[in-house]
Amino acid sequence: MNNHLKALRAERSWSQADLAEQLGVSRQTVNALETGRYDPSLPLAFKIAHVFGQPIESIFTED
Amino acid sequence: MSKKLASVLTRTVIGIAVFVVVVFAAGIAAGYLSARGTIASDQAVFWLVAVVSVSAMVGAMAISVAWMRSIDEAAREAHKAAWFWGGCGGMAVGGVLVILTSLPQAGTLSFPSWLDGRTDPAAYAATGAFAIMLLMLMGYAVVWAWWWITRMRD
C-alpha cells in the first residue's frame, strides 16, 4: 500500500514526533508508515485521515 | 518513554514489591506451621512454592496485559508476529526432538536432566517443558528482531 503521509506532514511542517503524538503512536511507527514498511490498522488509518482532514482513500492507495 | 509505559513500569515495581512481601510472609507461615508440626516440612515447601509460583505467573500475566496495552499497534504487531512465527518455528524444532526421543531406540540414551542432574520422570518432564519454552523463546527473539529491524529502522 502506498501513502502520501510524508508530503502531507511536510505541508504542515510537522516533525515525525509531532504526528506521532497526535496519532498516539511512536515516532518509529510514523517512520515505518511513511516508508511503506508498515500498513496501519483500519482504526489507525481513520485516525490519520481525521488528523489530516482528508478521506482515507486520498491518503492511502493500492500498489 | 510514553506516559502509559511509565505507568506500567511503576505498577510493575509496586507489584514486585508486594510479591516479595507475600513470599516473605508465606515463608514465615510455612516455617511456623512446619515447626509446630501442623504440616510436614515437605508439604510446607510444596505449598509455599505452589503459592509463590502461581502468584508470580498471575503477576507476570497481569504485567503482560498492561504492557501490551501500553505499546502502540506496530509494536504489538511485532510481538504477535514473533509469537506466531517464532513460537511455531521453535515448536517445529522441538517437535523433531519429541518424535526422535519417542523412538524405542532412544530408550538406551541417557540424557542429564536440567534439574540438578535428577533422573526421575518428573525431572525429565520438566526438562522437556523447559526445552520447548527455550526453543519458542529463541524463535520469538529472532523473529521479533527481524520484524523490528526490517520495518522500524530509520
Q: What are B103's three cell numbers?
A: 523412538
pTM, entire model: 0.83
User: A40 and B151 in contact by Cβ < 8 A?
Assistant: no
> How far is the C-alpha of B148 from the C-alpha of B55, rounded, in Å?
32
Q: Which chain A residues are Cβ-neighbours of B73 within 8 angstroms?
A: 25, 29, 40-41, 44
CB of A44 within 8 Å of a chain B CB? The answer is yes
- For chain B, give the percent of residues with pLDDT over 70: 99
Closest residue in A to B150 (Cα) is: A37
Per the model's pLDDT, the better-predicted residue between A63 and A1 turns out to be A1
Q: Which chain A residues are Cβ-neighbours of B152 within 8 angstroms?
A: 28-29, 31-32, 37-38
> How far is the C-alpha of A21 from the C-alpha of A51, rounded, in Å?
11
Q: Min CA distance, B72 vs chain A (Å)?
A: 5
Contacts of B23 (CB under 8 A, 6+ apart): B52, B55
Q: What are B45's three cell numbers?
A: 515447601
Helices (H), chain B: 3-36, 41-70, 73-81, 87-102, 121-152
pLDDT given for residue A10 in this prediction? 96
> How far is the C-alpha of A46 from the C-alpha of B92, rounded, in Å?
39
Q: What are B152's three cell numbers?
A: 522500524
Q: What pLDDT digit, counting tens, does each position of B84-142 carry?
A: 999 999 999 999 999 998 999 888 887 777 778 788 888 888 889 999 999 999 999 99
Question: ipTM of the assembly?
Answer: 0.89
- How many alpha carbons fall within 13 Å on the CB side of residue B14? 7
- How far, CA to CA in Å, does B33 sit from each of A1, B12, B21, B27, B49? 65, 31, 18, 10, 15
> How far is the C-alpha of B63 from the C-alpha of B50, rounded, in Å?
20
pLDDT of A50 over the 70 cut: yes
